Chains A and B, each alone.
Chain A
Amino acid sequence: MSSPPSSASRAESWGRGFLVCLLLTTTCFNANAAQVKDARVTQAVKDVKLGPPQAAPRRASVSNSVRDGDAIRTGAESRSEVTFADQRIARLGAKTILSFSDGTRTMNLGEGAVLFQIPKGAATAKIKTGAIAATSTGATGIIERHANFYVKVLVLEGTVRCYLTNRVGESLLVQPGQIIIAKPDVTALPDPADFDIARVMNTCLLVRDFPPLLSQRLIESEEQKQLNLMAKGTYIPSNLVIFGRGTLVTLVNSTPIPPPKPQTNTGH
């Protein structure tokens, strides 16, 4: 009959197991970090510049590599798109400054507008602007900032957690079809309002002037949900519209409620 293992041999076994786990974890983490770091410019329309903030920016062109610490800038009527190895996408509107940190996992919006797409399964991505941070593990949306006047967050699909970086506990989930508008130095996040996803998708140049998004079907599914809720009377289209950037709300003629689209299987 074999004798029970001594405490020394047990400790040795535990130690080996711990080392193996540590090695595996480190390997996976490093692989993931390396994957996240890999980003390239995939669209550059008109005036787009790339480079670290402290150096003179160079003109960006398609397939330029984007490194940790780089900033990308667009001029008037210009657009750009950055695609990451994990299929994340950031599309910059005109007059936008976006920098990258934390292995390009964090995007810092200094000015302008960004459409972001974070596919499910990708690493958690963060977009910071002012005191506001938005994180998600799967969502498509738009973040806009103008100087110290306002920050606007729109979610087209998925869920985005918005929180204040300088206040513990000030956090909220922004769901598809919700918009929040706040000052960049806000001390309390406002409650979200609701917007028409389909109208944004039909008029947004960061959608229309670029190839279809990977999350297009998920967004269409959210559009369909909104149409169904409008048909049920849960949502009523108001005659208040913000045309493009800014917070200027325009009173327009009310539009009739569109009939719901026939149900389609968006999975095939």
Chain B
Amino acid sequence: MGLRRFPKFLLRWPPFICAAVVILAGQSAQGQAESGSAQNRAQLLGGQANPVYGPNVAPPAENQGYAVTSPNEKDIGEQQILKRMEEYKPFTVSVYSPFFWTSNAALVSRGAEDDFVVAPGVTLLYRPRIAKTFYAEVGVVQQFFLYDRFPELNFASFDVIAGGVYYLPQFHNLSLRVVYDYNRLTDITSDYDELFVNNSIILTAELPFRIARAQQFLFGVGLNLSFYGNPESPRRNNYSLYGSYDLALSRSFSLDAAAQFVVRDYYSGDRTDVNEILSLSANYRIRDWLTLSALSSFAWNQSNHSVFDYSVANIGGGVALTLKF
């Protein structure tokens, strides 16, 4: 099936669309979007099918206590408790390739064109445990965004991150994360010319609520404060609120839904955007190191300059290989 006929395929197969919307996948609520810049497209599409970019190590919650009683029978034998020495693996290598049909390839307010995007990437992360609930974090992420109909939009994103995550089990496993992020976007159609460089500090606070062993809500707030960028016009600070719901239908299959509300305050001019992202995902873990995902995300952007308004839908899938050692 030709990629340009993909929308027709969707029209002919309404059950597929329903299944995609209801069951299929999404992304973590880390992405952001706005008019046309590679920065926004990287943030909207980049986090998909990448399971390691963000705090993911939570110490187990305390178990409930119970009365200690004994009917004084010896027939089931003596149970000597063994202490398992957990082998913490601080290194994570992840290779992933999400792919999407996107309704608005350039994130424009008028004349939107759909396209097919593939975004292969690799993440190397070192997260040593410094204290019982404190982890340092150093990593690099390289990802490519390749468009089918509009190759002139192709670009690459390179990140270096360094920071730490602190968990507070006494406060419902609240996690606090502080990360320095160096981000460089390059135009891969013209010898990797630099499109944008940004240096920012990312602060997040996340509060998980486990309903049962298989369900969890998570609420978070985030600040992404840019302190140096070149060129100046795309530079901005992001203030976000987000929430997610995870449902494990089996040990291998899970559904995730996430929503994010972001205010983007640009340094250049008086531009301020408000952005909403809704994402759905279904993840099937074939092996501990191999995950297949169905992904979808929907984003809306409202700006005080109407030329930057847009909406976009992304539907696709992804495969991720993750090794920890």
Interface residues of A (CB under 8 A from B): 79, 93-95, 113, 115, 142, 144, 146, 149-150, 154, 167-173, 177, 179, 181-183, 186, 188-191, 193-196, 199-207, 226, 230, 233-238, 240-249, 255
Contact B76–A188 (Cβ < 8 Å): no
Interface presence of B191 (CB below 8 A): no
Contact B76–A237 (Cβ < 8 Å): no
* Chain A residues whose C-beta falls within 8 Å of the C-beta of B69 in the assembled complex: 146, 149-150, 246-248
* Chain B residues whose C-beta falls within 8 Å of the C-beta of A173 in the assembled complex: 251
Contact A247–B70 (Cβ < 8 Å): yes
A235/B76 contact (C-beta < 8 A), A169-B248, A246-B71 known? no
Residue of B nearest to A248 (CB): B70
Contact B82–A196 (Cβ < 8 Å): yes
Q: How far is the CA of A226 from the CA of B82 in the complex (A)?
A: 10
Of B69, B82, B247, the most chain A CB neighbours within 10 A belong to B82
Q: How far is the CA of A167 from the CA of B70 in the complex (A)?
A: 28
Contact A238–B70 (Cβ < 8 Å): no
A246/B78 contact (C-beta < 8 A), A149-B67, A233-B85 known? no
Interface presence of B80 (CB below 8 A): yes
Q: What does DSSP make chain B's interface, helix, strand, loop or mixed?
A: loop
Interface residues of B in 53-107 (CB under 8 A from A): 60, 63-64, 66-85, 87
Residue of B nearest to A199 (CB): B80
Distance of A81 from chain B, by nearest CB (Å): 13
Contact B75–A205 (Cβ < 8 Å): yes
Contact with A along B241-262 (1 / 0, CB 8 A): 0000001110100000000000
Q: How far is the CA of A234 from the CA of B9 in the complex (A)?
A: 54
Interface presence of B214 (CB below 8 A): yes
Interface presence of B212 (CB below 8 A): yes
Contact B73–A154 (Cβ < 8 Å): no
Contact A169–B212 (Cβ < 8 Å): yes
Contact B71–A146 (Cβ < 8 Å): yes
* Chain B residues whose C-beta falls within 8 Å of the C-beta of A170 in the assembled complex: 212-214
Residue of A nearest to B215 (CB): A169
A241/B60 contact (C-beta < 8 A), A171-B214, A189-B213, A234-B87 known? no
Question: Which 9 residue pairs are nearest across A and B when measured between Cβ atoms?
Answer: A246-B70, A169-B214, A204-B77, A244-B74, A203-B77, A93-B75, A190-B63, A194-B82, A205-B75
Residue of A nearest to B213 (CB): A170
Contact B81–A195 (Cβ < 8 Å): yes
Contact B215–A244 (Cβ < 8 Å): no
Contact B70–A235 (Cβ < 8 Å): no
Residue of B nearest to A142 (CB): B76
* Chain A residues whose C-beta falls within 8 Å of the C-beta of B83 in the assembled complex: 194, 235-238
Of B64, B80, B84, B214, the most chain A CB neighbours within 10 A belong to B80
Q: How far is the CA of A79 from the CA of B76 in the complex (A)?
A: 11
8 additional contacts, CB 8 Å, given A196-B80, A203-B74?
A179-B79, A193-B81, A195-B79, A199-B77, A200-B79, A234-B87, A235-B82, A244-B78
Q: How far is the CA of A188 from the CA of B210 in the complex (A)?
A: 10
Q: How far is the CA of A93 from the CA of B76 in the complex (A)?
A: 8
Contact A194–B81 (Cβ < 8 Å): yes
* Chain B residues whose C-beta falls within 8 Å of the C-beta of A115 in the assembled complex: 76
Q: How far is the CA of A137 from the CA of B81 in the complex (A)?
A: 26
Contact A243–B248 (Cβ < 8 Å): no
Distance of B245 from chain A, by nearest CB (Å): 13
Q: How far is the CA of A95 from the CA of B73 in the complex (A)?
A: 9
Q: How far is the CA of A177 from the CA of B79 in the complex (A)?
A: 10
Contact A199–B70 (Cβ < 8 Å): no
* Chain B residues whose C-beta falls within 8 Å of the C-beta of A195 in the assembled complex: 79-82
Q: How far is the CA of A201 from the CA of B68 in the complex (A)?
A: 24
A and B contact pairs by CB, cutoff 8 A, 7 listed: A115-B76, A150-B69, A173-B251, A195-B82, A204-B75, A235-B83, A238-B83
Contact A190–B74 (Cβ < 8 Å): no
Of B75, B82, B83, the most chain A CB neighbours within 10 A belong to B75
- From the candidates B64, B84, B213, name the one contacting A169 in the complex (CB within 8 A): B213
Contact A172–B81 (Cβ < 8 Å): no
Q: How far is the CA of A235 from the CA of B240 in the complex (A)?
A: 44
- From the candidates B74, B75, B85, B249, name the one contacting A235 in the complex (CB within 8 A): B85
A94/B79 contact (C-beta < 8 A), A173-B251, A189-B213 known? no
Residue of B nearest to A113 (CB): B76
Q: How far is the CA of A248 from the CA of B68 in the complex (A)?
A: 6
Contact A94–B77 (Cβ < 8 Å): no
* Chain B residues whose C-beta falls within 8 Å of the C-beta of A171 in the assembled complex: 213-214
Residue of A nearest to B250 (CB): A171
* Chain B residues whose C-beta falls within 8 Å of the C-beta of A169 in the assembled complex: 212-215, 247-249
Q: How far is the CA of A202 from the CA of B83 in the complex (A)?
A: 20
* Chain A residues whose C-beta falls within 8 Å of the C-beta of B249 in the assembled complex: 169
Q: How far is the CA of A205 from the CA of B76 in the complex (A)?
A: 6
Contact B73–A194 (Cβ < 8 Å): no
Q: How far is the CA of A199 from the CA of B77 in the complex (A)?
A: 8
* Chain B residues whose C-beta falls within 8 Å of the C-beta of A188 in the assembled complex: 64, 212-213
